[in-house]
Each structure stands twice: as structure tokens, then as C-alpha cells.
Structure 1
Amino acid sequence: MQEMALMSHKTERVGSESLEKWVSVGSGGFGHVYKARHKDWGFDVAIKILQDNVRCDSNEEVIHMDKASCEFVLRVYGIYEGIPPLKGFSMQKGIVMELMSRRSVQDLLQGLSGPPLWPLSFRLAHQVALGMNFLHSRNLIHHDLKPSNVLLNDDLNAKLADFGLSRVSTSVLKSEKKEMVGGTYKYMPPEAFDPSYEPVRAFDIYSYGIFLWSVLAGKEPYTSAGRGHVALKIPMGDRPPCEDIDQRKAAGLKELVDLMKICWDEKPSERPAFKECLEVTETVFSKYKSQIHAAVAQVLERLDSPTSYQHSNTSVPSSFSPQMPEDSESHDTVDHVRFLKTKRSSTQESVSVSAKTMSDADKAKFIDNNRTVLIREVCEVMAIVDELGGMVHSETYSVIEAKQTSEDKMRALFQRTLRSGGEKVKAAFYDILKTQQSTLMERLGG
């Protein structure tokens, strides 16, 4: 039935003959994403190749994305059918989507090793609320809202993506058949850990509260906790620590923290609708609207040339000296800029020294000693596998890619490649983690 719905969908079909210059850009639980140039259109697109065991759910993703099409939701161009010009592929199906060149909010937080400048943080909070409000107005719930599913374009504007778990809201269609709840456990509300739970809009509201914490704190929640621990503690009232967000740093932070707490309230009925969230996020962002272009320019400069800040003056550049809103002291934003630049400088310098002094044996030992944590917490596994290149056998690549979760992918990588590859492979793996998982590696002392 779902396949027939897809076949009747009017979205354009795109075959391999229309695409060239394929490059891997990431992976997730529903498939692998590639960048490719459309020969006739003349611009790059994202191709999401769908895994066989989730294909039916992901086919509905096309319909959901089309139904929820707006400025703050990733645009879908068509349905891919063909054989990708890559090793090991047979006939595949996928989704042709808008390419978001700056990847995700999760990548942004990792690249900055902390929260973005406040004007950008507040815009992200507002744009995600706008997208989610539009989604709910179309009687859809996202069901997997998290930083890695909020993508960024060249100007760091946010768009919602990965609708593989979205469905028609059960608060509208009460007769929907119950299914096992998906989503990412760190962003799931307490009621969702009950096997009999049936998702409604309040699920997304809770996830948005945890998303706000991640952006404002600049990191993932519950970094050292596994699914079992989170499933036990969240229904008992545990939440990410609010003290990790210094509300004195900028005007508007207190309002967003208060909103965050309401969104992750234990009782679904007490959580606000996204339309109510917008009243807060729009008010906060309006105070910083005049500063957003300068803030984005500085963040992009830091992301593109992080090493240029290793020995730079920690004072704020003359090109970006934002004025705080009238109800706050102007030095707060300046202090935030200085703090981020100083932190980035010290982090980059320590990484550079560490990379030069550690031997392959030391790197391999680090990987072995932290095996359990790495299996549990490393994300974007296929991007790491792609970086390892020929060190990963083609058969092993297929096995890893077929795994459902990042944890399972990592476990397969350890068992099939790292264990037998010796110091050289583990050292290469270590170096990739330093680049792609810098926040985690810093926490582990790598």
C-alpha cells in the first residue's frame, strides 16, 4: 500500500543517467547520503539511498516532506531509481533532496566545540520552532527531532530533515495503528519509553526542549549515559543540567531556558504548542536580528579556517562588535565571543601538539582503552568508514552499512576491521575521530 502511494506520487523520477560526480557526505539509520551534480539542472543535489529494511517507511518520507514543504523544511526534488556509480551497489531507490552544504546543527556544535554565537543560536531556535509549527499545522509529527536532523545551508539557515519516522499525528487520527516507537532515545519524552505509547505532537515538543538545551549548551545531552540508563532516569524526572547554560551571558537566555523547561515537562498536557513557543523565540531573536549577518560571517570564518585563530588576538574583531539589547549589559555578548575564540584556540593548539607527539601505538592503545565508550557514542559512522577507505573491505562495508544504529555500526567496525587491522588502522581511526568527533575525543582526553 505504501509502495503504491509512492508510485502514484507526482514527484519527478531521477535516474543515474542524470547524475554525475557522486561524493559520500554522511549516513543515518535510514540510509546513506551522497552529493551529486544533476546534469540538466546544473546544480548539486543530495541523494539519500534507502536501506531495504526501512524502505517502506522512508518512501512515506517523500510524501511527508512534500506535504510539509516550506522555507524551514528540506525540499524534495524527486525519487531516485538506479544503480549508483559506486562499488558494491545494485539497483537502489532513494530520495533526491536539496543539498545543505553546511551539514547539520550537530556538526556545527562539534566544529565550534561549544554553542554558536548568541544571534545564531537564537535564530536556530526560532527557525526550528517555525518548521515544527508548520509541520504540526499539516497534522504531521516529525518523531526524531535532534541536532543531526536539522540541516544548514550556506548561510547557516536551518531546515528540518529526516522524516523517516514522521507520521500523521495521532492527535488528529485516533484510529492510527500502534507501532513500536522510534526516534533517538536522548530526545524521547518519558512516556515514550512505555511500549504501549502512541506518539502525538507532545513528543516533538519534548524533543524541541532537549534540542534547545543542546544548542545553548553546545553539546549532546547525557554524553556518558547509555539507553538503559536514560530510559530509567528520564521517567524519574532527570533532565540535562540547566547550570551548563549561563543565563547571564546574553539577554534572552533566561526566556529560552524557561521555555526549554516547559517543553520537557513530565506531563505531555503541560507542554506548550509550537505556536506558543514561537511567541518566545521570535521575541528573543528580534533583539539580535541586526547582528545575525555579522555573527554568521564570523562563525563561517571560524569553521572554514579554525587554525587561523590559534595565535590570534582574543579581542573581538572590529568587523563584529555587536551591541546588546537595551535591557542587558553590552559586554555579555562580547565576553561570549572572546570565550569561544579562546576555547577554540586552546583546543586547536592542544590537538596539534597531541597529533604530533602520539605514536601509532599510543593511538591504538587509546582506541582499545575507550572501546566501550566509542561504540556507544560515536555517530556518523559511515562517514568515518568512508574516510578509512581501502582499510575497510567491501564486504565489511556492506555489513556495517546494513546495521540499524550507530552503536551497531561501531561494534561491527571494531569486530571486522579495527580488531584485525592492527596499530595502523586504529591510528587512522584515531586521526579521523580527532577531526570528525572532536568534542568526544576532547572529553576522553584523546
Structure 2
Amino acid sequence: MALPSQKTELVSDTSLDNWESVGSGGFGCVYKARHKDWGINVAIKILHKDVCSYDNNLHRSSPFTKLCDEANHMDEAASEFVLRRYGTYQGYRSGKETSMQHGIVMEFMRNGSVESLQKELSGPLPWPLVFRLAHQVALGMTFLHSKNLIHGDLKPSNVLLNMDLNAKLADFGLSRVSTSALNSSRETTEKIGGSYKYKPPEAFKASYEPARAFDRYSYGILLWSILMGKEPYPCADYALVKLRIPEGDRPCCEEIDKTKLEVDGLEALVDLMKRCWDESPSKRPTFKECFEVTEKIFSKHEKGIHKVVDDVLTRLESQNSNQSSLASNVPPQTPEQSESNDAVDNDFCKQDSVSVSTKIMSDEDKAKFVDNNRVKLIQNVTGVMAITKELGNMVHPEAYSCVEDKQKTTQEKMRVLYMTFRSGGVAVKAAFYDALKQHHPELVKRLGGYA
């Protein structure tokens, strides 16, 4: 396999086949394609036509030249934790376009982003992976800032994951293309992309000039998202965020605060998170200070990272083989459940929660609850032996022995139970749900379950 020796190498349609759309953003579309000479899949980001039109109308340089200038930032920031650029694309996307397309050719990250992983797992990630991601992002941002580069769009969808779920930063150059070229419709673009949720309070002023403190604030909100496994402010639009963030509002930490004393290093990470989103830019820690904290935290959990990554990858493979779309991994919510969850998780949304205690769940609904909340239940359920005893003969003798083993962690015991669920089907999952209600009623309620 021969990879490009020059990062400025021009890639044309003759070298590419098997084009497949994998996403889009404010600046353009992302495609996966097979490079026939290199023998690998690559990611190609192609500018929207309105970006090119803006460049042609308001700048003397061509969109291709502008794109190369932006791509050079990627070359300056080449590191282990920044997405690698292979070259620049120019072509007609194998005859599917009538006008010349311009883009950047990069390594393809087969496991998507932190955002897509959160959606596939329907919740928070295992703790060792949380701490590694926090550390790797801090390392990547330290390198970027050491090169006097500002990311400007740090969020879960721009933290990509390789085959082993290691993090690499993306879109720190092209985000500037999006901002400058689409300035006339900037608010609309940000509403779609969600970037406004990661903007510091000072950035909502018309006179704001980008500074590295911007990225430090975004990192704090990103840490919250990684810890919680979801986006902040789920029902707040751009106008509301723009109003409330400068007034001091931040994502709700009630659920995190209840857990931080139970997980080694979590309290230190929460403290770092809150310092990063400080209202005063000068009080936000540098990324060097951040990675010194995250390095110590991750060292406490590093021994468990390989098993956790294997577990997550196994689950992803299982879901991809058994389900036709990722959408089926998201638990179906009734309007009542949706309102209740928003009221708990989002301090911008103060709706009264709607009681669902009078509703009755079928065995199939209980089974779906158990499947959709697998990660959260494995991370949070305690007293596994008591629950196992209630399941009685439904649990295989070997699994029962494993749960009795005092050398195994609670999470290991829960994973064994889930293996039992696979073979036992709906009946076992429904019985587990009933036992879970007795031992962890608040957890069931928090995850959207009911009687």
C-alpha cells in the first residue's frame, strides 16, 4: 500500500471509486471513497457551492486556492491527535456533478465521531474511555495552540474516532471557511450544526475577535457532553442560548455531582470542566494545564481501557449486524417521557414533568428498555447478586457462579447478565426490569421507565 508522500498531492476522479455520502456540515459534504492506487478508504470534504460562489465573488483567489490555504493549517497541526490530510481533491465526483468540485482528502475514521458513538450507545461511555477521550482531546488542542492555531468549532461531531476509538480532532481549518463564507446566514448555519452550544459568552458579541480562550470554553462544554453522553441544552434554540449563556447559565451538573465521589478522578475532571467554562476568559486553564489534569486521571483507569474498547467495539459490531439503522438504537419516547427528560437534563427548559406512573409496560416494552439502556445500566446498577437471585432459574448456572465471584467487578457481573438476556429473550429481560424497579427505582425513572 503506497500512501501519498506529499500532502499537497492532487487527487482526481480517476483515482477514486465507490463514493458514498457520510455526512454534511455548514461548509460542505463529506464522502467516503476508495483510493484505487493507495488501496484504502479516504474521506473527502467538498465545499458547498455557495462557499465557492462567495469566494469567486468577493475574493480574487479561486475557491481551490482558498481551500489549499485552509488545508495548510491541517499540515501545520499534524500530530497523533489531529486528523491527517493526504491531499486535495479536484474533480466532478465521478461524473455526478456538472461543475468542478474542490475538497480535501483525509484519512477515513471508520468509527465516526464522539457524537455518533453516543447515539449508537444511547448514553454515556464507559469511564476509562471517557477519561481517555478527555485526555486525547486536551493533547490535540495543546498541539494546535502551540502552533498558534485556533480550532473554533470544538464539539462531539468534530472529535473523530479511529478503529480503536482513539480521538482525532477535525474541522479546525474548514470551520473558518464556513464562518467567513457563510457569514450572511451564520445564525442559520449554527442552528443546524449545534456549534452555538459550545460558544463562550463573549463570542456572542458582534465585536468579538477569536482567541484561544474560545477553545478552552468549548472544551469545558465538550467534557460535559462526554460525561453525560448527550448534547447540552436539548430544547434550547440559538436565541435562547445567546441570551442565557452570557447571564451565567451552563449545562446542569446535578447528575454528575451525585456520581463524582464514586469514580476515581471524576471529581477532578468535573472541577476542570467548570473552570474551563468560566465566564472570564482569563480564568480558563490553558490546554497544557488541562492535559496535566487529564493525564493523572486517565493513568488511574488506563489498565482497563483495552477491555472497555473491546466491549464497545463488540457491541457496535453486534448492532450493525442485527439492525438495519442506528435510529433503532434510540429508545422510543412518548411525549410524556420526552418532556420529563428535558425538565431534568436541561436547565433552560423548565417544563413540569408529566407523571407516567399510571401507564403499564408490556414485556416487549420492558425488553426494549433493557436493550436500549444497556450501557447506563451496566455502569450504574449495584447489588447484582440480589437481582440475580430474583431471576432464579432464568440465569444460567455458569452465569450465576460468575455473579457470585467476589473478584469480579459489578460491571463485569452486569455484562454476564446481559449475555443471559441474549439467550433468554423477552421473558428474562422483562423479569430483570421488574427486579430493577425494586432495587433501583430512581434509576429506572431517570432512564424513562415506568410501572
Partner residue, 1:426: none
Structure 2 residue identity aligned to 1:192: A
Aligned to 2:171, the other structure's residue is in SS state: coil
| Conserved 8 A contact 1:117-1:337 | no
Deviations 1:97-129 (A, max 9, x none): 000000100001111111110000100000000
Query: Structure 1's 300 and 262: CA in aligned 2 closer, same or farther, altered over 3 A?
Result: same
Q: Does structure 1 residue 190 correspond to structure 2 residue 201?
A: yes
Partner residue, 2:237: 226
Offset, 1:30: 1.2
Deviations 1:388-432 (A, max 9, x none): xxxxxxxxxxxxxxxxxxxxxxxxxxxxxxxxxxxxxxxxxxxxx
Deviations 1:70-119 (A, max 9, x none): 00000000000011126455321111000000010000111111111000
Partner residue, 2:360: none
Partner residue, 1:281: 294
In the aligned structure 2, how far is the partner of 1:187 from the partner of 1:133? Answer: 18
Pairing of 1:39-438 with structure 2 (within 5 A):
39-55=36-52, 56=63, 58-85=67-94, 87-164=96-173, 184-245=195-256, 246-306=259-319, 310=371, 334-335=410-411, 338=414
In the aligned structure 2, how far is the partner of 1:10 from the partner of 1:45? Answer: 14
Of residues 18, 22, 25 in structure 2, which corresponds to 1:25? Answer: 22
| Conserved 8 A contact 1:126-1:278 | yes
Aligned to 2:102, the other structure's residue is in SS state: strand
Structure 1 residue identity aligned to 2:201: P
| Conserved 8 A contact 1:13-1:80 | yes
In the aligned structure 1, how far is the partner of 2:229 from the partner of 2:371? Answer: 20
Aligned to 1:248, the other structure's residue is in SS state: coil
In the aligned structure 1, how far is the partner of 2:99 from the partner of 2:275? Answer: 48
Offset, 1:303: 1.7
Structure 2: segments with no counterpart, 5+ residues? 1-5, 53-62, 177-182, 324-369, 379-383, 386-397, 427-446
| Conserved 8 A contact 1:141-1:166 | no
Deviations 1:125-171 (A, max 9, x none): 0000000000000000000000000000110000000124566xxxx
Query: Structure 1's 30 and 291: CA in aligned 2 closer, same or farther, altered over 3 A?
Result: same
In the aligned structure 1, how far is the partner of 2:133 from the partner of 2:413? Answer: 17
The answer to which of 210-219 and 306-315 deviates more is: 306-315
Deviations 1:339-389 (A, max 9, x none): 9x98xx99xx99xxxxxxxxxxxxxxxxxxxxxxxxxxxxxxxxxxxxxxx
Query: Structure 1's 243 and 90: CA in aligned 2 closer, same or farther, altered over 3 A?
Result: same
Structure 2 residue identity aligned to 1:334: T
Offset, 1:234: 0.3
In the aligned structure 2, how far is the partner of 1:38 from the partner of 1:74? Answer: 18
Deviations 1:172-203 (A, max 9, x none): xxxxxxx8989711000000000000010000
Offset, 1:54: 2.8
Deviations 1:30-88 (A, max 9, x none): 11111111111111111111113335565433111111010000000000001112645
| Conserved 8 A contact 1:49-1:92 | yes
Offset, 1:243: 1.2
Structure 2 residue identity aligned to 1:248: L
Structure having the higher Rg: 2
In the aligned structure 1, how far is the partner of 2:112 from the partner of 2:220? Answer: 22
Structure 1 residue identity aligned to 2:20: V
| Conserved 8 A contact 1:14-1:79 | yes
Query: Structure 1's 125 and 83: CA in aligned 2 closer, same or farther, altered over 3 A?
Result: same
Partner residue, 2:364: none
Query: Structure 1's 336 and 294: CA in aligned 2 closer, same or farther, altered over 3 A?
Result: closer
Structure 2 residue identity aligned to 1:200: A
- Aligned length, in residue pairs: 321
Query: Structure 1's 37 and 10: CA in aligned 2 closer, same or farther, altered over 3 A?
Result: closer
| Conserved 8 A contact 1:119-1:291 | yes
The answer to which of 100-109 and 53-62 deviates more is: 53-62
In the aligned structure 2, how far is the partner of 1:198 from the partner of 1:338? Answer: 50
Of residues 32, 35, 56 in structure 2, which corresponds to 1:35? Answer: 32
Partner residue, 1:387: none
Query: Structure 1's 89 and 46: CA in aligned 2 closer, same or farther, altered over 3 A?
Result: farther
Offset, 1:244: 2.8
Structure 1 residue identity aligned to 2:144: L
Offset, 1:25: 1.2
Partner residue, 1:375: none
User: RMSD between aligned alpha carbons?
Assistant: 3.6
